[in-house]
Structure 1
Amino acid sequence: MSRTIVLAVAIAAIGAGAYYYLTQPEPTPAEQLQSAAEDAGDAVSEAAQDATDAVSEAASSVADQATEGASSIAAQATDAAEQAGEAATDLANQAGEEVAALANQGQDLLNSWVENGALSLENFDYDTMVASVQESNLAQELKTQAIQILDDIKASPETIAVKFQELRDLLSGQ
């Protein structure tokens, strides 16, 4: 019965962490990626800590009543919790690196337009910019939003200053 309690506490803690991670709202694409990476790391670390605490408490109780078998189970549960925490940390680090790479891609794209003169108050090369957005590695949602802003500029050239700022904010992840 002690083994069942230890395993149930460990599974409940990991499940709570996973539920917390999966039900978080996602504000903007760039913030969504960053927030997901941070939340995943925090939730899994918290779940691993809760599981470790629960296992430690259960181990103390079991040690008072049980045999070496119960101690072995507690050690295995602790190892499993630590491995889950390490895996979550690795995933969070990887997600953070991907977020930074995506933000850099958008900023690089915007910089190339400005440097090449495709996007300025005096010049607006719609076809070149749309083609570069479509060929980029940006997320589809960002591509769609960027092309919509470019369409708005094409439809109303007098709004280029305002739309340029919207485009800058979108592609730089602000």
Structure 2
Amino acid sequence: MSRLILIIIIAGLGAGAYYYLNQPEPTPAEKLESAAKEAGEAIGEAATAAQEAASEALSTATDQASEAASAAVEQAGEAAEQAGQTATDLANQAGDQVASLSAQGQELLDTWLQEGMLTAEQFDYDAMVDSVKNSQLSQDIQDQVIKILDGIKDAPETAALKIQELRDLLAQ
């Protein structure tokens, strides 16, 4: 039985060799078809590789963009925090300056009243104008005070009313 198997194997190999060696040459059309098939397979493999590379590049770009956006958001948050602190500091300074100027205006008025320069009966226009011009009050406040003092000088009968205007203005 082993001989029979050996004879069948040898006969099969012989038939396969005969068929392979006696195969006709492929025609040009068959060669083109075979080349096109191989080119199609190569293009498919290249497209798959390109798709994988593009997917990986997109993933990398997305990761980098995400990191950059996170860094930008963090920097913007820090900048906003610094700007808020600066604004708070400036507001506090401005509030302190306004309070100081308001106190200075009130002191000026108190001095005029204590020294008797500004009463319904007594009015020392020149001394008060000089003290206003030498004060650290804002120019706008100085102009308003001098305007009220001019009003008292022009119409002494309105002194009580104008003194109240001065109090309101300088007590702000």
CA RMSD between the two structures: 1.8
Residue 96 of structure 1 corresponds to 95
TM-aligned CA deviation for residue 70 of structure 1: 2.4
Greater RCO between the two (CA within 8 Å, min separation 6)? 1
Residue 113 of structure 2 corresponds to 114
Question: Which residues of structure 1 form unaligned runs of 5+?
Answer: 1-62
TM-aligned CA deviation for residue 130 of structure 1: 0.8
TM-aligned CA deviation for residue 155 of structure 1: 1.2
Residue 172 of structure 1 corresponds to 171
Aligned length: 111
Residue 160 of structure 1 corresponds to 159
Instruction: Tell me the secondary structure at the aligned position of residue 120 of structure 1.
Output: coil
TM-score (norm 2): 0.60
Which has the higher Rg, Structure 1 or Structure 2?
A: 2
Residue 86 of structure 1 corresponds to 85
Moved over 2 A (4+): 63-70
Q: Does 1:151 align with 2:153?
A: no
Q: Does 1:137 align with 2:136?
A: yes
Identity value in percent: 59
TM-score (norm 1): 0.60
For 1:64 and 1:108, how far apart are their aligned partners in 2? 65
> What amino acid is aligned across from residue 165 of structure 2 in structure 1?
E
TM-aligned CA deviation for residue 122 of structure 1: 2.2
For 1:105 and 1:165, how far apart are their aligned partners in 2? 17
For 2:150 and 2:66, how far apart are their aligned partners in 1? 72
Equivalent runs, 1:7-26 vs 2, <5 Å = none
